[in-house]
């Protein structure tokens, strides 16, 4: 079992920045991959960014260099730095951990991009 707790969401104006955090209950080096996903109103949940235990990253095409996923192994934390936010980035952002034993999700944090 892996517990994940996200934080850092909130209300931000278009063009602004936020940094999301996801703290895992175990060392993230024991997790095959961790990712950020989001669910916008009326849409299915989609991948935003993902990082493997080896440090490899991949991003959704719609990110276009605006977001960066990173990690702090000592803190068992994965971050999502989001810059140049747009209203269409409004969504609940979820953290996911992938293990051979299964997948684990956090409860999500709401990001609202609005003027």
Query: For 36, left (φ over 0), alpha (ψ -120 to 50), or beta?
Result: beta
The pLDDT tens digits of the residues spanning 3-54 come to 999 999 999 999 999 999 999 999 888 899 999 999 998 999 999 999 999 9
Q: Count the neighbouring beta carbons within 10 Å of the beta carbon of residue 24.
A: 22
Distance in angstroms (rounded) separating the CA atoms of residues 104 and 85: 27
C-alpha angle 26/30/31, rounded to 5°?
A: 90
Reply yes or no on whether the pLDDT at 64 is more than 90.
no
Q: What is the pLDDT of residue 101?
A: 87
């Amino acid at each position: 079992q892996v517990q994940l707790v996200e934080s850092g969401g909130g209300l931000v104006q278009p063009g602004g920045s936020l940094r999301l955090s996801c703290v895992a209950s175990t060392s993230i080096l024991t997790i095959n991959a961790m990712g950020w996903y989001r669910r916008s109103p009326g849409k299915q949940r989609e991948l935003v960014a993902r990082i493997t235990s080896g440090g490899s990253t991949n991003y959704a095409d719609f990110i276009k260099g605006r977001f960066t996923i990173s990690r702090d192994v000592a803190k068992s934390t994965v971050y999502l730095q989001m810059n140049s936010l747009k209203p269409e980035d409004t969504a609940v952002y979820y953290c996911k951990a992938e293990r051979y034993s299964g997948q684990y999700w956090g409860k999500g944090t709401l990001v609202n991009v609005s003027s």
